[in-house]
Chain A
Amino acid sequence: MASDEPFGYRLWRYDGAPGELIPLLQSAQDHFGYIPRRAIQHIAGVTGIPESSVYGVITFYNQFRLQPMGKHVIRTCVGTACHVSGSRMLIDAIQDELGIEVGGTTRDGLFTLFTVACLGCCSLAPVMMVNNETHGRLTPASVRRILRGIRRAEERGAAERGARPTP
């Protein structure tokens, strides 16, 4: 995947081939965690595609973010199998536990909550991913336990560093 390929390298390697806008945006997002304004300007400059069109492509696709994400990214699956197994209740529990809405980031910058259309682990429904780890057969209670576990680990880490968690 493009993640081990620095954004600058991609840009530098850009040879004017048509159709490279989306891969360029993907590598910018892999690099920065979101697509910052200066990346848009930069990509527009190099490719000659107007900034407005670049922005149009970014907002068309669900994958692209214009805001930085939290340290831990939660993706709850809302595919059909998860939906009929109660994913709505999981989302309610997460929103309640973290005090954020879907798409939002907690004020301490620890968590961002997204939904995804299908993670393809339908037989483990309902499922969520926290960063790259998949958790299956969840209940509202087990979701809260997982989130509290992460928060506790963060607080311990922060206490050891003698500082509060930084966003």
Chain B
Amino acid sequence: MKKIVVGMGTCGLSAGAQAVKDRLAALAETHPEAATVGITGCIGMCYREPLVEIREGDVRVIYGGVDPRRAEEIFQRHVLDGEILEEHVIWMRDANGVESGSEMDFLRHQRRIVLRNCGCIDPESIAEYEATGGYEALRKALLEMTPEEIVAEVKASGLRGRGGAGFPTGLKWSFAASQPGPVKYVVCNADEGDPGAFMDRSVLEGDPHSVLEGMIVCSRAIGAHAGYIYCRAEYPLAIRRLQIALEAARERGYLGKDILGSGHAFDVKIKQGAGAFVCGEETALFASIEGERGMPRIRPPFPAEKGLWRKPTNNNNVETYANIPWILTNGAKAYAAFGTEKSRGTKVFALAGKVVRGGLAEVPMGMPIRDLVFQVGGGIKEGRAFKAVQMGGPSGGCIPASLGDTTVDFESIPATGAIMGSGGMVVLDDATCMVEIARFFLDFTQAESCGKCTFCRIGTLRMLEILERITRGEGKPEDLDTLRTLAARIKEASLCGLGQTAPNPVLTTMRYFLDEYEAHIYDKKCPAKSCIALVDFVIDPARCTGCTLCAKQCPVGAISGKPKEVHVIDPAVCVRCGKCLSSCNFGAIYKA
């Protein structure tokens, strides 16, 4: 009897996994003796979705890029006839434990603790989670350990918060634990607002119980009886799987009035975010749960003292909680064996942008950025040059390829001016303009500033206006100094991390790519040929079919040519609106 497993995370579904699963389920129905069909979350190889795995005993074979027709072929030949379709296998492990497949490198350099179950178990089945040792850590925490011992174990593991700031988790728990009760809260931050980051979503979709178990352990450690998961509304599948997980956990007695007979009571509610980036900041998140505009509050008092509803609160990120069960089960020592001296354990990264293998990878802390991009990520798309990585989203910065030996940990990354952030790593190639990237992030933070602090509200707008001018070719020499001054003021005069870090993308690009700013300002050139106001649009005669569409679109009549003949753009007339580029059906127009 074989088991067919279809990857049904958001990435799989958007690549067409539902149709594949329906096809396989229909086939399995006609051959009930041959196989059963199940689902799993994202294994991280988003770039090869939809994925289908065939398991038999210890043998695992994963096929990538499966459509319903290929699924049928896999069913016929592999499931029924026992033949492996070598050419479509992206990863497999044979009966002797030997691994092979075209995407073996992607998994080989990883160390999966947080993602231990993602892509392996059915996230909608609590029994599958239990079969991998799930809820053993909770049993141990409730029945064999005192709250102090739990906190001590988490401290000893060296785990630091994965939500961005890297605060030591055990220490944070001890603050909340030392507060007087009886009302305290455990909050899980699943707002994941950084554009380009999807680690938390994948964990919630692929292994919701691990997060839940971490939260329940925390509730015991700090003495809380109510918890909230604040999840962004853009993640409907994560919310649904969390709801299923909560119900199953209640049924099994992992949540409720007397958990596992220990006398400890705890339950969890899900709150949906409503689309505001700043609500990822913990004090704004509390305001949002309370039903208000999500604006940050002044600290102190810190959340451990007065958090949600002004009660002692412990807030951690999704990934932070997902580490907890593994730490209790395997011991703090085993966890601390991974990573660097000050950054223990592993970190999940969402690799995206111009990298060949875009997806999720969990690696030990301390891996050089270059290895992450080339060994795990497979290098740069279309063989172009590696220019930089953007880490930490809108609060982070760009680290140039020349610093590719920088290791990913909470000490080395901030030394470059970027931040670890929550794990979004967007890889940039030589066709990316760094001034434009800085403008892009500032546009985001400017729009997401809640408006409470003047410098964050207005200072970011002034910076954005300057960057827009520079990318339009209207930059002035004094702009660079003005940007630096504004950046310093905004950092100084903002209440929360949003404003304190908003200038980072600008500052890091100015630090490492000042020549690009200067080329825009003094030479009116965009070296990456990205800013459309500073390039010439050219028609490739080899591709132009003379369809006349671009000439019709051009608002100033800069394009000439007879129907069915190659067209030309007159750069002296062209206003660089880019309409021709987006209208061409043959990819014949390029920027030079």
Please state if A117 and B195 are interface contacts (CB–CB under 8 Å).
yes
Which residues in B have their C-beta under 8 angstroms from that of A18? Answer: 290-291, 309
User: B354 near A60 (CB under 8 angstroms)?
Assistant: no
Question: How many cross-chain pairs have Cβ atoms below 8 Å apart between A and B?
Answer: 144
Q: Which residues of B contact A83 (CB under 8 A)?
A: 195, 440
- 9-residue interface stretch from B97-105, B337-345, B575-583: B575-583
| Interface contact A92-B578, CB-CB below 8 Å | yes
Which of B46, B195, B288, B294 is in CB contact (< 8 Å) with A78? Answer: B195
Partner of B274, one of A22, A117, A123: A22
Known: A18-B290, A123-B358. A136 touches B15 (CB 8 A): yes
Question: Contact flags (1/0) for B212-249 with A, using CB distance below 8 Å?
Answer: 00000000000000000000011110011000000000
A140 interface neighbour in B290, B358, B582, Cβ under 8 Å = B582
Q: B15, B358, B441, B579: which contacts A81 (Cβ < 8 A)?
A: B358
Decide if A93 is an interface residue (CB 8 Å cutoff): yes
Confirm or deny: A48 has a beta carbon within 8 angstroms of a beta carbon on chain B: no
A158 at the interface (CB under 8 A from B): no
Contact of B46 with A123 in the complex, beta carbons under 8 Å: yes
Taking the complex as formed, is A98 at the interface, i.e. its CB lies under 8 A from any CB of chain B?
Answer: no
How many angstroms from the CA of A123 to the CA of B197 in the assembled complex?
Answer: 11
User: A124-152 CB contact bits vs B (8 Å, 1 = yes)?
Assistant: 11010000001010011100000000000
B76 CB-CB contact with A under 8 Å: no
Cβ of A40 under 8 Å from chain B: no
Chain B residues whose CB sits within 8 angstroms of the CB of A116 once the complex forms: 234
* A23 with B272: CB separation less than 8 A: yes
- Asked whether A39 is an interface residue with its Cβ less than 8 Å from the other chain, the reply is no
- Does the CB pair A118–B195 fall under 8 Å? yes
Judged by a CB distance under 8 angstroms, whether B194 is at the interface is: yes
In the complex, A26 Cα to B583 Cα: how many Å? Answer: 38
B11 and A123 form a contact (CB under 8 A) = yes
The residue in chain B whose Cβ has the minimal distance to the Cβ of A142 is B585
Check if A63 sits within 8 Å of B274, measured CB to CB. Answer: yes
Interface contact A62-B274, CB-CB below 8 Å: yes
In the bound complex, CA of A121 to CA of B350 (Å): 11
Of B25-33, B401-409, B424-432, B485-493, which stretch is located at the interface?
B424-432
Known A1-B240, A23-B272, A80-B196; judge A57-B358 contact (CB<8 A). Answer: no
Instruction: Point out the residues of chain B lying under 8 angstroms from A136, CB to CB.
Output: 14-15
Q: Mark A67-99, 1 if CB is under 8 A from B, else 0.
A: 000000000001111011100011011001000
- Flag whether A61 is at the interface (Cβ < 8 A): yes
A19-B290, A122-B198, A136-B15 in contact; A84/B354 too (CB < 8 A)?
yes
B-side contacts of A118, CB under 8 Å? 194-198, 234
Q: Tally A residues with Cβ within 8 Å of B.
A: 44
Distance, CA A159 to CA B363, complexed state (A) = 57
Q: How far is the CA of A90 from the CA of B582 in the complex (A)?
A: 7
Q: How far is the CB of B378 from chain A (nearest CB, A)?
A: 12
Q: How far is the CA of A123 from the CA of B64 in the complex (A)?
A: 14
Given contacts A84-B432, A124-B14, contact A61 B582 (CB under 8 A): no
Nearest CB of B to A35, in Å? 11
Q: Which of B10, B271, B583 has the most CB of A within 10 A?
A: B583
Q: A96 to B579, alpha carbons, bound, how many Å?
A: 8
How many residues in B have their beta carbons less than 8 Å from beta carbons of A? Answer: 62
Q: A120 in the interface, Cβ–Cβ < 8 Å?
A: yes
Residues of A within 8 A of B15 (CB): 124, 136
Chain A 15-41 residues near chain B, CB threshold 8 A: 18-23, 25-26
Q: Which residue of B195, B271, B290, B578 is within 8 Å of A80 (Cβ)?
A: B195
CB neighbours (8 Å) of B292 from chain A are: 21, 57
Residue of A nearest to B199 (CB): A120
Contacts A81-B352, A118-B194, A122-B350 known; A61 to B11 CB distance under 8 Å?
no
Partner pick for A79 among B47, B196, B235, B359, CB 8 A cutoff: B196
Min CB distance A135 to B, Å, is: 8
User: B14 touching A21 by the CB < 8 A rule?
Assistant: no
Complex: A63 Cα to B239 Cα, angstroms? 16
Residue B463, interface by CB 8 Å: no
Please name all residues of chain B whose beta carbon is closer than 8 Å to the beta carbon of A25 when the two chains form the complex: 274
Q: What is the bound-complex CA distance between A125 and B444, given in angstroms? A: 18
> Which of B235, B274, B583, B584 is close to A120, meaning CB atoms less than 8 Å apart?
B235
Task: For residue B192, give the distance in angstroms from its CB to the closest CB of chain A.
Answer: 8
Q: Is the CB of B293 within 8 A of A1?
A: no
Bound-complex Cα distance A90 to B440 (A): 16
Q: A22-B274, A57-B292 are in contact. Are A122 and B46 (CB under 8 A)?
A: yes
Please state if A123 and B579 are interface contacts (CB–CB under 8 Å).
no
12 CB < 8 A contacts A-B = A57-B293, A61-B294, A62-B274, A63-B233, A80-B195, A81-B358, A118-B195, A122-B350, A123-B46, A123-B358, A124-B14, A124-B15
Residues of chain B having any CB pair with chain A under 8 Å:
10-11, 13-15, 46-47, 49, 193-198, 201, 233-236, 239-240, 271-277, 288-294, 309, 350, 352-354, 358-359, 390, 393, 424, 426, 428, 432, 437, 440-441, 444, 450, 553, 578-579, 581-585, 587
Further 4 A-B residue pairs, CB within 8 A, beyond A23-B272, A89-B578, A122-B198: A81-B426, A122-B353, A123-B11, A124-B15
Task: Give 3 nearest A-B pairs by CB, closest first.
Answer: A123-B358, A62-B275, A122-B352
